[in-house]
Amino acid sequence: MEDSDIIGLYWDRDQSAITETASKYGGFLWNISWNILRSHGDAEECVNDTYLRTWNAIPPARPTAFQAWLGRIARNLSLDRWKQARAQKRGGDGMEVLLGELDACVPAPHGTEAALEDRELAALISAFLRKLPAESRIIFLRRYWYGQELRDIAGGLGCGQGKVKSSLFRTRKALRAYLEQEGVSI
């Protein structure tokens, strides 16, 4: 079923919208939650919550990129749950590793940086990513948007893990330089 048709079901308050969403994007959303949480139960709850949020948000929302829109909800919910689990000292440490890597992208403070709103900062990063070679951009987002393991990224792109590692290293370094150049504080 086309995304627009699924969204139409939400607008009609037809509960089959949930079933259609689960059928088309259930695995995709699970992918995201699992990569962050590494817990069956927590990932299941996050995906369920994603459907609930979607049901409550549409209408009035009418997302133009439904897949990314859903993924964003699942990602945020998963991060929230990961923080909760971390506070309770549950779950794995994969997310710690991932966030630690991202710390390397954060510019050193100089005192003159602009404290941008999240959306402004995201727009800057989008512009940065567009300048990258497609493969570097995809590797970066698969790691830090979708939370994929290095081996899974390598497997998906048909290359070695070493190539993925070096690409991520270069992109992190370039992003840090870019943000410093833009005078951004995170």
Partner 1 sequence: MNGERLFRVLGLVDDELVVEAAPGFQAGTAVRRGPWRRALAAAACLAVLCCAGFAWRTVSAPRGDGTTAGGAAPGAENGTGSSLGGDPGDAPQENEPLSVEGTTFMSYAGPVFPLTTAEADTALTAERKTVWDFAPGSYHDGTPRQWGATVTDSYTLINPTEEAVTVTALYPFAGSFDELADLRPAVTVDGVETDPHLYAGAYAGGFQGVWQSGGQNGDQLDGTTLNLASPSSWTDYKALLESGDYLQQALEDAPALDIPVTAYEFTDFEAPAEYDAATQAIEFTIDRSKTTVLTYGFNGGAWNEETGWQQHSYFVPDGVRREPEKKVLVVLGEDIGDYTLSGYENGGCEREIDGVSCTVTRRETTLDAVLDELCRYYYDDYAGWQYGMTDRAVEAVPYPLFRRAAAELLVQYGILAGDSAVDRYSDGRLDDLISESTSQQRVLYLAVPVTVPAGESVDITFQLWKAPSFDYGCSGSENAGLQGYDLVTQLASTLTFTEQRASLVNTETIQIARQNLGFDLENSVTEVTLDLETEHYYLEIRQKS
Residues 2 to 41 in contact with partner 1, rule: CB under 8 A: 15, 18-19, 22-31, 33-35, 38-41
Using the minimum distance from each CB to partner 1, give the nearer residue, 38 or 62: 38
Closest separation between CB of residue 166 and partner 1, Å? 18
Binder of partner 1 out of 5, 12, 14, 93 (CB under 8 A)? 93
Closest separation between CB of residue 10 and partner 1, Å? 14
List the interface residues with partner 1, window 127-146 (CB under 8 A): 129-130, 134, 137-138, 140-142, 144-146
Binder of partner 1 out of 6, 91, 167, 168 (CB under 8 A)? 91
DSSP string, 27-63: HHHHHHHHHHH--HHHHHHHHHHHHHHHHHHTTT---
CA 40 centroid distance within chain = 18
Q: Give per-residue burial for 15-30: e unless 16+ CB within 10 Å, then b.
A: eebbebbbebbeeebb
Binder of partner 1 out of 59, 103, 162, 183 (CB under 8 A)? 103
Phi, psi (5° rounding) for residue 114? -90, 130
